[in-house]
């Protein structure tokens, strides 16, 4: 009787398995969130330290080599304030964003569509693969004289330069993602009688979405580079035109002010697309957990 009473009391004190599991999972989630927050703080701190070291290095290089080699960060800041206050930087940024936006939109549309076709039809992919690789391995600057002859020196030609630069990373990543889509899902859809169009847009494209977004992220970074190249080699305008004018006059403080804006622009575009890629890739994690 005494032993049975002790056992009953122990059972009444011991928590239910579901409650214990719930407490354990919530504790693990809180610990994981705290660890992510700690990691984010460490990364941010390290980046701030690197920026400070870079600024100190610029001051040291200016002290030893002069303004022509490296201007003072304070001079760069003053020149940046001047360029933004008189509207010069804002106008140049608007012109460059127009070229980047239209060129990237055109390359994203054509790259994704062609990638879906070449990845979804293996025979066509094998036929066009050498030509795609040949165009991708050719430097984009080699096509600039031809683009100038065909489209002139102004906005249309610059958009074509950006399109040509960003097209192939998007196309290749899309084709690879479509070609390597989940075979089990494809076979299941075919078994249920899915048509080719439905198979593309309901099965293969969603499965290839992370690869497509990765290609878009690479293409966005290349679009910024292509825009500057186009603005330097054609009718000088935008941020590339400011770079060329400052470099020709050896105004290094203005030159670095424009370079910083270009770096911030490329970083912002890449970060935005990385965020979109992260948001649209979560379903794969949930799919693995359910499996």
Residue 281 structure tokens:
């890739």
Write down the pTM of the prediction. 0.76
C-alpha 224/C-alpha 153 separation (Å) is 18
Look at residue 163 in the predicted model and tell me its pLDDT: 93
Reference 221, options 170, 171, 255; nearest CA is 170
CATH (residue range 73-290):
1.10.3720.10
Reference 212, options 183, 166, 182, 169; nearest CA is 169
Residues in the chain: 291
**What one-character DSSP code corresponds to residue 256?**
H
Write out the chain's pLDDT in tens, 291 residues.
445 545 445 454 454 444 444 446 777 777 777 888 888 888 888 888 998 998 898 888 888 887 888 888 888 888 889 889 988 899 999 999 999 999 999 999 999 999 988 888 888 888 888 888 888 888 878 888 888 889 888 888 999 999 998 999 999 999 888 888 777 666 676 676 667 666 777 777 777 788 888 888 888 888 888 888 888 888 778 888 888 888 888 888 899 999 999 888 888 888 888 887 777 665 554 444 444
Distances (CA, A) of 19 to 28, 31, 131: 14, 18, 61
Q: Are 166 and 140 in contact (CB under 8 A)?
A: no
**What one-character DSSP code corresponds to residue 15?**
P
Residue 178 structure tokens:
């479509």
Torsion, Cα 75 81 86 88, to 10 degrees, reads 80
Reference 219, options 164, 156, 154; nearest CA is 164
Look at residue 107 in the predicted model and tell me its pLDDT: 93
Look at residue 15 in the predicted model and tell me its pLDDT: 47
By CB atoms closer than 10 A (0-12, 13-18, 19+), residue 122 is exposed
Look at residue 51 in the predicted model and tell me its pLDDT: 87
Distances (CA, A) of 52 to 59, 106, 179, 193, 253: 11, 39, 46, 61, 18
Look at residue 104 in the predicted model and tell me its pLDDT: 92
End-to-end alpha-carbon separation of the chain, Å?
Answer: 48
Q: Would you kindly state where each structural domain of the chain is located, as residue ranges?
A: 2-65, 73-290
Provide the CA 73 distance to its chain's centre, in angstroms.
Answer: 28
Look at residue 26 in the predicted model and tell me its pLDDT: 74
Reference 84, options 228, 239, 220; nearest CA is 239
Residue 219 structure tokens:
């293409």
Look at residue 285 in the predicted model and tell me its pLDDT: 44
Helix axis angle, 122-137 to 88-120, nearest 10°: 140
Reference 212, options 242, 174, 183; nearest CA is 174
C-alpha 270/C-alpha 76 separation (Å) is 25
């Amino acid at each position: 009787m005494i032993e049975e009473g002790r056992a009953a009391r122990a059972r009444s004190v011991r928590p239910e398995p579901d409650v214990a599991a719930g407490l354990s999972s919530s504790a693990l989630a809180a610990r994981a969130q705290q660890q992510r927050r700690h990691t984010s703080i460490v990364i941010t701190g390290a980046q701030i330290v690197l920026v400070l070291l870079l600024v100190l290095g610029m001051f040291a290089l200016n002290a030893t080599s002069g303004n022509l080699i490296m201007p003072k960060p304070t001079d760069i800041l003053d020149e940046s304030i001047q360029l933004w206050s008189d509207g010069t930087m804002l106008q140049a940024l608007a012109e460059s964003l127009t070229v980047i936006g239209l060129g990237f939109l055109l390359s994203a549309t054509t790259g994704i569509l062609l990638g879906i076709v070449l990845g979804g039809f293996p025979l066509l992919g094998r036929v066009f693969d050498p030509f795609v690789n040949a165009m991708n391995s050719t430097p984009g600057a080699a096509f600039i004289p031809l683009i100038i002859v065909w489209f002139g020196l102004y906005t249309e030609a610059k958009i074509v330069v950006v399109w040509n630069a960003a097209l192939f990373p998007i196309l290749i990543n899309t084709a690879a993602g479509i070609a390597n889509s989940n075979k089990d899902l494809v076979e299941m859809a075919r078994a249920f009688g899915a048509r080719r169009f439905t198979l593309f847009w309901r099965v293969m494209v969603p499965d290839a979405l992370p690869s497509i977004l990765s290609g878009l992220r690479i293409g966005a970074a290349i679009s910024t580079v292509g825009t500057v190249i186009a603005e330097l080699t054609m009718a000088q305008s935008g941020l590339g035109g400011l770079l060329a004018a400052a470099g020709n006059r050896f105004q290094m403080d203005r030159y670095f002010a424009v370079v910083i804006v270009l770096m911030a622009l490329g970083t912002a575009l890449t970060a935005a697309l990385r965020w979109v890629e992260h948001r649209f890739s979560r379903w794969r994690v949930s799919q693995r957990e359910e499996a």
